[in-house]
Structure 1
Amino acid sequence: MDINALVDFALVATNGGLGKASRASGRSKATLSRRIADLEDQLGVRLIERSARGLKLTEAGELLMARTEGPMNEVAEAMTAAREGLSIPRGHLRVASPVLFAQLAMGRIGAEFCAAYPEITLEVVAEDRVVDLVEEQYDVAIRVNPSPDSGLVGRCFAKDRMVVVAAPSIPAPPPGAVRQVPAIVFSTFQPTHWNLDEGRLVLEPVPRLRFSSFLTIRDAAIAGGGAALIPQSIAWNPLARGELVQWGMVSGVDASLWVLHTSRRLAAPKVRAFVEFICCHYPDASLVLTG
């Protein structure tokens, strides 16, 4: 298949017509039309319907565009990188991050990253929903315990543990039978047990306060609102200051943070640079957050 014909097809489809594609590329409408006709002959299907109103992609044309748009962009980026020496990360990098990680870590990481790569501008969007990298035009996503996705690749750069903590004024229940405890829980909490230290202590949390933020839950625990299950990374400082006491570590709910992107083979230099930078920021994979 003639790669130039495929490029010209994508150009016409993206611009919505031969005239606009011609003006955008500097190639004649006749050349573009001939290339598309050649591509249709090779595939044996119509890709574009021509009418007095203009051009419209056929079902086959839409399918071809959907399947080739990403790879064609990768090829274009790779060719640009090759012309520029391949090793210079540049351009706008858009990153999706969980709210907690963005609030407590991404400001510092972002500033250091841009200092290391002055030709990159960084945009970090903090939200806890799972974004579609392609549809929403993100280059990178940071996710906690991501589900397998054949369209994404990446690396685990840090891990966290979940601990049950409470203010020193609240006595820790003794080991034995399941113990009910007043608890501060997440808004989406469902009835469950907290199995601490592989069964040494089993707690039945009785919700008294519900919040949608781990930081708010932590602060309510410091204020004596009840026991709380929070990431160890945000509990370390209050534990060190004596504001909280750790009752135990919950088994089987570790949190792994991954940095993910869409390209398997031709990741842009800016994406490769960010992945390597954030992994090097946590060399021992230990997640230490402050705040």
Structure 2
Amino acid sequence: MDLLALADFTLVARHEGFGKAARASHRPKATLSRRVAELEAALDVRLFERGARTLKLTEEGRALFARTGPLLAELEETAVAIGSGGETPRGRLRISAPLLFSQTAMGRLAAEFIHRHPDVRLEVTTDDRMVDMIEEGYDLVIRVNPAPDDTLVGRPFLHDRLVVVAGPGMVRLAAGIMPAVVRGNDPERSWTVDTPDGPIEIAVNPVLRLSSLIMIRDAVRTGVGVAKLPLSLVSEDIDCGRLVPWGNVAKSEIALWALYPTRRLLNARVSAFLEFLRNSFPRAAPEELAAYLKR
């Protein structure tokens, strides 16, 4: 495959037109058009749908651009870094992070990272689904207890656990059903909780269903029911007596992973962010995240 033609195709796709690509690169529009046509002929597939005034990627064109665009950008940035004699993190870094971590910690972490690496343009989006990193153009994703994926590599940088909490006025019954605040359509009717006296079963009746863990925490503070929440989220409430812990939920270990595609070079931006996470939470313990949230 002609890499120059591939680079020209990527240029046109990125700028969504031959004219814009020609102006941005200071190259003749006819040359770019010829190169793309040669690439289409070599691949025996149409990459663009050409209208009178519009130019749109075909399905095959979108697939090719999603895979080659980031790779060519990596090569360009690597060449710039080598030419300047260093691997200083610079350029765009796109990260997808889960909702709760984004709401509680990611804003401050992102700002601290940019203070240290001002040449990076950091973009963070919030999404609890497992995004397609290649198709959607992410450099790094943060996920909670991700399923095994042969196309991704990474490491956990934080651990947490679920704890059952209630308002100080709520009495734990030896028998009977406790009113509970649960997330979404959680079907569980009982929770196994580890206590100093051994594991116990707490029967629950969901009286309130909420989609956000922060909303659940705020509701439980009023004494409406019990809930199971991450220790890091309720640590301050426990310390000041707003909430009372009843025990850890059995087998509720939580790990936050930083993941990136195996097919991509680990560029300076991703390496710098991974190192930043390690330095921010060196023991990867829930107490570290709780302390960070209290700052």
Give the TM bin, normalised by the shorter chain: 0.7 to 0.9
Percent of pairs with identical residues: 45
| In 1: Cα distance, 2:255 partner to 2:204 partner | 24
Q: Within 5 Å, give how 1:167-246 maps onto structure 2.
A: 167-174=167-174, 179-197=176-194, 200-246=199-245
Query: Separation in 1 of the partners of 2:42 and 2:17?
Result: 21
Indicate if the aligned counterparts of 1:75 and 1:266 stay in contact, CA closer than 8 A: no
Cα deviation digits, residues 44-91 of structure 1 (max 9, x gap): x35568999698878876665454333223222322332233421123
Q: Judge conservation of contact 1:166–1:228 (CA < 8 Å) in 2.
A: yes
Equivalent residue of 1:197, what SS?
A: strand
Secondary structure of 1:266 counterpart: coil
The question of whether the paired residues in 1 share the 8 Å contact of 2:99 and 2:126 is answered with: yes
C-alpha separation in 2, matches of 1:127 and 1:271: 19
Q: CA deviation digits over 1:136-185, x for unaligned, max 9?
A: 444332221123334433221101100111223222234xxx75212121
TM-score (norm 1): 0.80
Q: Which moved more, 1:18-27 or 1:209-218?
A: 18-27
Question: Deviation digits for residues 171-222 of structure 1, max 9, x if unmatched?
Answer: 2234xxx752121212322133211129720112111222222223223323
Matching of residue 155 in structure 1 with residue 152 in structure 2: no
TM-score relative to the length of structure 2 = 0.79
Q: Contact between 2:216 and 2:227, CA under 8 Å: does it hold in 1?
A: yes
What value does the CA root-mean-square deviation take over the aligned residues? 3.4
| Counterparts of 1:257 and 1:158, CA distance in 2 | 5
Show the 5 A alignment for 1:75-114.
Answer: 75-114=75-114
Q: Secondary structure at the match of 1:77?
A: helix
Residues 1-291 of structure 1 mapped to structure 2, 5 A cutoff: 1-12=1-12, 14=14, 21-28=21-28, 32=32, 45=44, 64-174=64-174, 179-197=176-194, 200-262=199-261, 264-287=263-286, 288-289=289-290, 290=293
Please report how far the alpha carbon of residue 13 of structure 1 lies from its aligned counterpart in structure 2 after TM superposition.
5.2
CA distance in 1, matches of 2:155, 2:211: 28
The Cα offsets for residues 75-109 of structure 1, whole Å up to 9 and x where unpaired, read as 22322332233421123433332222122212332
- In structure 2, distance between residues paired with 1:50 and 1:114: 40
Q: Match for 2:179: what amino acid?
A: P
Q: Shift of the alpha carbon at 1:245?
A: 2.1
| TM-superposed deviation, 1:14 | 4.9
Greater shift after overlay, 14-23 or 93-102?
14-23
**CA–CA distance in structure 1, aligned partners of residues 179 and 189 of structure 2:** 13
Deviation at 1:228, TM superposition (A): 1.1
Structure 1 contact 81–269 (Cα < 8 Å) conserved? no
Question: Number of residues paired by the alignment?
Answer: 287
Shift of 1:282: 0.9
2:104 & 2:59 partners in 1: Cα distance? 47
Q: Give the deviation of 1:281 after TM superposition.
A: 0.8
Change beyond 3 A, Cα 1:93–1:52 = closer
The answer as to whether partners of 2:89 and 2:269 remain within 8 angstroms in 1 is yes
How far, CA to CA, are the matches of 1:211 and 1:49 in structure 2? 45
User: Structure 2: how far apart are the matches of 1:14 and 1:111?
Assistant: 28
| Contact 1:180–1:205 (8 Å) recurs in 2 | yes
Query: Between Structure 1 and Structure 2, whose CA radius of gyration is higher?
Result: 1
Note if contact 1:86-1:269 (Cα within 8 Å) is conserved in structure 2: no
Cα 1:210–1:135 change in 2 (3 A) is same
Offset from partner CA, 1:113-132 (integer Å, 9 cap, x none): 12211222433333434444
Q: In the alignment, is the contact (CA less than 8 A) between 1:184 and 1:221 conserved in 2?
A: yes
Give the whole-Å Cα distance in 1 for the aligned partners of 2:4 and 2:59.
21
Residue identity opposite 2:140 in structure 1: V
Give the SS at the match of 2:96: strand
Using the alignment, how far apart are the partners of 1:118 and 1:281 within structure 2? Answer: 18
- How far did residue 231 of structure 1 move? 0.6
Greater shift, 194-203 or 250-259, is seen at 194-203
Q: 1:205 & 1:88 partners in 2: Cα distance?
A: 53
